[in-house]
Amino acid sequence: MQDVFIIGAKGIGNYGGYETFLKKLIETDRNNKQIKYHIACKYNGQGAMDETKLPNAKTIDDHHFTYYNADCFKVDVSEKLKSAQAIYYDIAAFKECIRQIKLQQIKHPIVYILACRIGPFVNKYVKQLHQLGGQVFVNPDGHEWMRAKWSKPVRKYWKVSEAGMVKHADLLICDSVNIEKYIQTTYAKYHPKTTFIAYGADVTASNLKTDDAKVRAWYQQHNVQENNYFLVVGRFVPENNYATMIKEFMKSKVDKDLVLITNVEHNQFYDDLKAETHFNQDARIKFVGTVYDGELLKYIRENAFGYLHGHSVGGTNPSLLEALGSTKLNLLYDVGFNREVAQDSALYWTKESGSLSDLLNKTQQMTPEQIESLGKKAKQRIKDAYSWQLITEEYDQVFLGNK
């Protein structure tokens, strides 16, 4: 039996990349008798875990529940820490892993850390784990230090922290070939041991129908019609190129809407974007808030005319995989991460003025057969390289020491 402790996600669920990853990994691997999962979850604060909303989870007490073959424990976080909460949470979770390993006398445990938040502090706990016969695996995520939402001091911390995590990890599991190359090149002096395992997705259709009440209610609320909108789904941050997508869409001649599913509440970026683009003067631009219902979101993706993806930072992006698995026509920002994933199943644009607006105009002349062909290629790409079954099997090989 291999015990695998996973820390760094807020919990197990359908929203958030790491949270979705844990849900899919455990669901897919639930009958595996060779691996026992131990999952750290947030007890309180933003994004706190509520297992009553997770089907098949069984509550043991207010800090402990099970989910298939995973033993899940909740970690208290002081809300006074504000921006330092995530760092405290990961350290506290690592300490709890070590406590449980000692208490249960677990042999050769693995602690898998999602993201690089605790690099300056991690060495102490890695040493403790090594003394117990364990190993530390790290998922370095994307280039967090490049994200515009962080101030310069915070970006500097992220870069230093990334270096610390790479230096002290026994293995780095990269969800992008580009990220793996970056780790090997940038941190060559540490001789990092890396492997590539992608993020996963599925190509199953939504179980909702056109005349379902929740479907009709959403479309009527936002004055949107099936197959008559381009869709954007993602975090509302500058590096996802919202400004470029909106300005180029406004410049285009398409007679469809641009539906943006993202959280813009109390957001300075939203106000800045409105001042820069005046998107509020274009009736086609529709910010519709978030959609937490997974089946409804899948239906909305399936019935979009096209999907715009502007992410410029990170590895394999979950929202891109979901789009390729659901939407036929995908227009992606031309960067290595996105080309690596979609290959020839999508169309690409750059930040150059006119690039996206010209591409949008050209899509209006595409035949249904051309669009259908791209959709089939996109779904096949997901089946071939990104299915959760394939991803889980690769994780099993790594956790059991066979890869």
State the amino acid at position 197 in one-letter form: I
Rounded distance between C-alpha atoms, residue 161 and residue 187, angstroms: 13
Q: Output the CATH code of domain 213-385.
A: 3.40.50.2000
Out of 19-28, 87-96, 314-323, least confident range: 314-323
Structure tokens at 312: 């410029």
Q: What is the mean pLDDT of residues 145-156?
A: 65
Q: Which residues, 6 or more positions from 401, have their beta carbon under 8 angstroms from its beta carbon?
A: none
What phi and psi values does residue 230 have, to the nearest 5 degrees?
-95, 145
Q: Does the structure show a pLDDT above 60 at 304?
A: yes
156 pLDDT tier (thresholds 50, 70, 90)? confident
- Do 319 and 303 touch, CB atoms closer than 8 A? no
Q: Which residues, 6 or more positions from 368, have their beta carbon under 8 angstroms from its beta carbon?
A: none
What pLDDT is recorded for position 376?
97
Helix 355-363 vs helix 242-251: angle between axes, to the nearest 10 degrees? 60
CATH 3.40.50.2000 intervals, the chain: 2-200+387-399, 213-385
What pLDDT is recorded for position 167?
97
Q: What is the mean pLDDT of residues 188-197?
A: 96
**3 state SS of 37:** strand
Average pLDDT, whole number, for the chain?
93
Q: How many CB atoms lie under 10 A from the CB of residue 227? A: 11
289 pLDDT tier (thresholds 50, 70, 90)? very high
What pLDDT is recorded for position 151?
65
Q: What is the mean pLDDT of residues 247-262?
A: 97
- Do 99 and 38 touch, CB atoms closer than 8 A? no
Q: Which residues, 6 or more positions from 62, have their beta carbon under 8 angstroms from its beta carbon?
A: 43, 74
Out of 56-60, 149-153, 270-274, 313-317, least confident range: 149-153
What pLDDT is recorded for position 264?
86
Q: Does the structure show a pLDDT above 90 at 391?
A: yes
Q: Kindly provide the b/e burial profile for residues 22-50, where b requires at least 16 CB atoms within 10 angstroms of the residue's own CB.
A: bbbbbbbbeebeebbbbbbbbbeeebebe
Q: What is the mean pLDDT of residues 223-227?
A: 98
Tokens 């820490």 belong to residue: 81
CATH of 2-200+387-399, one of 1.20.1250.20, 1.10.10.410, 3.40.50.2000, 3.10.450.50: 3.40.50.2000
> What are the C-alpha distances in Å from 307 to residues 76, 186, 233, 322, 330?
39, 33, 8, 11, 5
| Per-residue pLDDT reduced to its tens digit, 15-33 | 778 998 999 999 999 999 9
Structure tokens at 75: 């970690």
Helix 294-302 vs helix 318-326: angle between axes, to the nearest 10 degrees? 60
What pLDDT is recorded for position 144?
58
State the amino acid at position 126 in one-letter form: V
What phi and psi values does residue 220 have, to the nearest 5 degrees?
-70, -40
Rounded distance between C-alpha atoms, residue 312 and residue 351, angstroms: 11
Rounded distance between C-alpha atoms, residue 394 and residue 149, angstroms: 33
What pLDDT is recorded for position 195?
97
What pLDDT is recorded for position 333?
97
| Per-residue pLDDT reduced to its tens digit, 350-367 | 999 999 999 999 999 999
